[in-house]
Amino acid sequence: MIAPALTTALAAWLDHQRALAGAAQNTIKAYQTDVLGFLAFMTQHNGDSLGLGPIARVTVRDMRAWMAHERGRGVGARSLARALSAVKSFYRWLSEREGFEPTAVLSTRAPKFQRKLPRPLEEAAASAMIDTVELQSTEPWVAARDAAVVTLLYGCGLRISEALALTGTDVPLPAVLRIIGKGGKERIVPVIPAARNAVEAYVDLCPYPTAPDAPIFRAIRGGPLSPRAIQKVMEQSRLQLGLPATATPHAMRHSFATHLLAAGGDLRAIQELLGHASLSTTQAYTAVDAAHLMSVYEKAHPKA
């Protein structure tokens, strides 16, 4: 059983992450699940109620036992590394508040894992995706809507949630958009003419009025457009184009970043455009670009 004092402390830490660190709701839920799982294991591991005292006395051996238990029940290295990161963050905050030494927890090494690289589309495939998406509906305004959304993903590097969050106050699209991304972080994104024109063409055809506080992109019956609708139309398009299952809405955002980098874009500037909190996240695109160059080299270089 987890003692009430520890449960209260966990709730206070989650509130801190939500309010001060600006963590998104999905992130908060993941933190809660990961830390509760850790605390539940330590309760069973110690065979007694787990309160602030016992949690402060967790040893390196205890941490190894938890990690071995997680791997034994099939938790992957990436997921375990994420859980350990949440536990460390909670311990760092709790130790400062309660005045104990958290070294045993903070010194625990995360398991190594191969980072999955983003899978962007080739430039020609990204353009073909936009064109093919527009052909999926016989209703002109729906066709224009889908093309406009996918153009925003590729042309401005928006997440699908960010594109669908645009409202009537954003029409007509300005030269730059002020986007509120993950964790409430704000960034400025330039709007290319193709994106501005695509949205304008959709708005002109849309049968529903554009209200300042209503979303621009509407479903058939006038409600807010769901991400699933765009995912579905891209699924249909990629089958027609013979593209892999990785050709998703988020892949268009990856393509935006990778193609900018290949064209000589500055990594730090691309980080700002994408709204990545850490440069290390954006640096994954350098590996993608290197992988692409090696692929071209291997195809062009004569084999011995």
CA separation for the pair 36, 93 (Å, rounded): 16
CA separation for the pair 291, 46 (Å, rounded): 47
Q: Is 218 helix (H, G, I), strand (E, B) or coil?
A: strand
Q: What digits encode the pLDDT tens for the residues 79-106?
A: 888 899 999 999 999 899 888 888 888 9
**What are φ and ψ of residue 177, in 5° steps?**
-105, 140
Going residue by residue through the chain, which has 304 residues, state the pLDDT in tens, using 9 for 90 and above: 677 888 888 899 998 888 775 667 778 888 899 999 998 888 888 776 667 777 788 899 999 999 999 989 888 888 888 899 999 999 999 899 888 888 888 998 888 765 565 577 888 888 899 999 999 999 999 999 999 999 998 888 888 888 999 999 999 998 888 877 766 677 778 888 899 999 999 999 999 998 888 999 999 999 999 999 999 999 999 999 998 888 889 888 888 777 676 655 555 555 555 554 444 444 554 544 444 444 544 544 444 3
Please list, residue by residue across 163-176, b when 16 or more beta carbons sit within 10 angstroms of its beta carbon and e when fewer do: bbbbeeebbebeee
| Domain extents in the chain | 4-106, 123-299
Which tokens sit at 238? 């990629």
The pLDDT value given to residue 88:
93
C-beta separation of 206 from 168 below 8 A: no
The pLDDT value given to residue 123:
82
C-beta separation of 138 from 220 below 8 A: no
Whether the pTM exceeds 0.85: the reply is no
The pLDDT value given to residue 205:
96
Catalytic residues: 159, 182, 250, 253, 276, 285
Which tokens sit at 122? 């080739």
Give the CA distances from residue 248 to residues 114, 156, 232, 251, in Å, rounded to whole numbers and listed in that order: 22, 16, 9, 5
The pLDDT value given to residue 118:
55
The CATH number, out of the four listed (3.40.50.150, 3.30.465.10, 3.20.20.140, 1.10.443.10), of the domain defined by the range 123-299: 1.10.443.10
Q: What is the CATH T-level fold of the domain 4-106, as seen in this structure? A: DNA polymerase; domain 1 (1.10.150)
* SS3 track for 129-144: HHHHHCCCCCCHHHHH
The pLDDT value given to residue 288:
45
Bridge partner list, 186: 180
